[in-house]
Amino acid sequence: MRPEQLRLRIRETLAEQRRLVASLLRLREQLHGSLFVRYGQCGKAGCACQSEGRRHGPYYVLSTRSAGKGSFSYLDAPAARGARQQVARYRAFRSGLKGLQRVNASLVDLLRRYQQARLRATVRRLGLPAVKNP
């Protein structure tokens, strides 16, 4: 590929990188964990959960890990909605980071190829013997 074409691809990749970083910065408020809903059954003989099969709940449980230890927290419905959004942001952030890693690897490759193409063009212009790829 010619140096001019590589420069264009580098600019496009840099623009993509900037877009990804901006989208990641919008996901700053996040929560690393899982949120699930639990229904319970009590031990009272006359309770509807025993005779009719209706369970108590829903109970919203937030599962998190810190320093290698897991913990559970029970949340009310409004807090669970907020936590669900923050957990979704964390997952989107992780996915965005993987995309950014791919873009960065592509950018490094394009820059290396551009540098080699420019070197070949300079060698040709000066009439020197061709440089072998490292």
Residues 85-124: tens digit of each pLDDT:
999 999 999 999 999 999 999 999 999 999 988 888 887 7
- Predicted confidence at residue 133, as pLDDT, reads 58
- Predicted confidence at residue 119, as pLDDT, reads 86
* Gyration radius of the chain over CA positions: 28
Tokens matching residue 101 = 């890693």
- CB-based burial of residue 62 (10 Å sphere; 0-12 exposed, 13-18 middle, 19+ buried)? buried
Quote the DSSP letter at residue 68.
T
* % of the chain with per-residue pLDDT over 90: 58
- Predicted confidence at residue 46, as pLDDT, reads 83
Closest residue by Cα to residue 30 from 82, 96, 97, 70: 82
Please, are residues 51 and 58 in contact by the beta-carbon 8 Å criterion?
A: no
Give the mean pLDDT of 55-76: 90
- Predicted confidence at residue 52, as pLDDT, reads 77
Quote the DSSP letter at residue 2.
-
Q: Would you call the peptide bond into 134 cis, given omega within 30 degrees of 0 as the criterion? A: no
- Predicted confidence at residue 127, as pLDDT, reads 74
pLDDT grade for 132, boundaries at 50, 70 and 90 = low
